[in-house]
Amino acid sequence: MCEFDLITRYFQRPTPQTLLGPGDDCALMRVAPGMELAASSDLLVSGIHFLPDTNPRDLGWKTLAVNLSDLAAMGARARWVLLALSLPTADEIWLTAFSAGFFACAQPFQVELVGGDVTKMAAGGALTLCVTALGEVPAGEALRRDAARAGDDLWLSGYPGLAALGLKHLQGEVVLPEPLRRLCVQRLQAPTPRLALGAMLRPLAHAAIDISDGLVADVGHIARGSGLMAEILLHQLPRLPEGVERAPALEALLAGGDDYELAFTAAPEQRPALARVAAELDLPLWRIGRMAATSSEPRVQILDPEGKIVPWTIEGYDHFREAST
């Protein structure tokens, strides 16, 4: 099967919200009046970003989900996606499962695949996926990481840390009891992009980011971007899961990547409105700290109940420091 047949067969679906979908030199789209275009690209490499034996259906889902998460973190609506793959072989079973997972993630969020590129790898090459997600956000309303204000609460969505525990389990570093194992592995393999949350946060939050590299590392981007100290209060963090030791669970929560939850800041007056958002989405929102003015270098501090600084050194996942998987 040639490259063009592959694209037609596995990656061509109707694109009613697109002027011109896959098959030409470019896709053509109309950005609605009054909207800004939001764009993000991610490259996923087997052995670095996912385990080589990842189920292709899960991989298809996750490949799209992690990029939609970037749109969610800006408060954008997801609209279009371009997908480029390089494959070791044109394996039809793999392609069927991968594309099913990809479109399973695209469908509920009404995202249309508008462009693609498929390449055969050099022998022994690592499967590589590149996704570019495009979305729309009302002009001037995007949630940037440099817009936190002193006095803001610091919030965190969902179930952070579970994905990292799932990875530790798959790598044999911890042993998780059921049903925690299943939950953690599911969070790792099929994260939910928080698009609904991001959209509802636009009028309420000041700054937002998605937790892809780890809570402390990503909140650090908000702190440095906004010139503020981010204070995470240890006793306000979500309770650690039962059935696993405290040390790896806390490390997973503070430094584990791959959760794709949102961290955001909002003025304290928004607490009731955020409680309503949590109820409406049936998604926990944890108020884990605050943003404070600082005369020293902006960064993240973790404080114990007495306000003392808890030493914390693991700064999260960095591809050039540690390629752990």
Calpha distance 237→159 (Å, rounded): 11
CB of 83 to a copy of itself, least distance (A): 7
CB atoms within 10 A of CB 155: 23
CA-based nearest residue to 81, from 32, 140, 143, 29: 29
β-bridge mates for residue 21, sequence order: none
Nearer to a copy of itself, 271 or 299 (CB): 299
In sequence order, what are the residues at sequence separation of 6 or more whose Cβ sits closer than 8 angstroms to the Cβ of residue 163?
184, 187, 188, 191, 252, 256, 257, 258, 259, 260
Instruction: Retrieve residue 37's tokens.
Output: 């275009």
Write down the least CB distance from residue 128 to a copy of itself, Å.
5
Contact by Cβ (8 Å): 303, 233: yes
Question: What residue ranges in 88-151 does DSSP mark as E strands?
Answer: 112-120, 128-138
Q: Which is nearer to a copy of itself, 33 or 311 (CB)?
A: 33
In whole angstroms, how close is the CB of 7 to a copy of itself at the nearest point? 11
Helix/strand/coil for 154 = strand
Answer for the pair 232, 131: CB distance below 8 angstroms, yes or no: no
Query: Residue 197 CB, nearest distance to a copy of itself (Å)?
Result: 14
Q: Which residues, 6 or more positions from 31, have their beta carbon under 8 angstroms from its beta carbon?
A: 37, 136
Shortest distance (Å) from residue 249 CB to a copy of itself: 26
Nearer to a copy of itself, 142 or 233 (CB): 142
CB of 189 to a copy of itself, least distance (A): 20
Closest approach, Cβ 6 to a copy of itself, in A, equals 7
Nearest to 256, CA basis, from 319, 314, 312, 200: 314
Q: Is the peptide bond before 179 cis (omega within 30 degrees of 0)?
A: yes
C-beta separation of 82 from 132 below 8 A:
yes
Smaller CB distance to a copy of itself: residue 152 or 213? 213
Decide whether 80 or 102 has the Cβ nearer to a copy of itself.
Answer: 80
Nearer to a copy of itself, 110 or 268 (CB): 110
Measured from the CB atom, the residue of 272 and 320 that comes closer to a copy of itself is 320
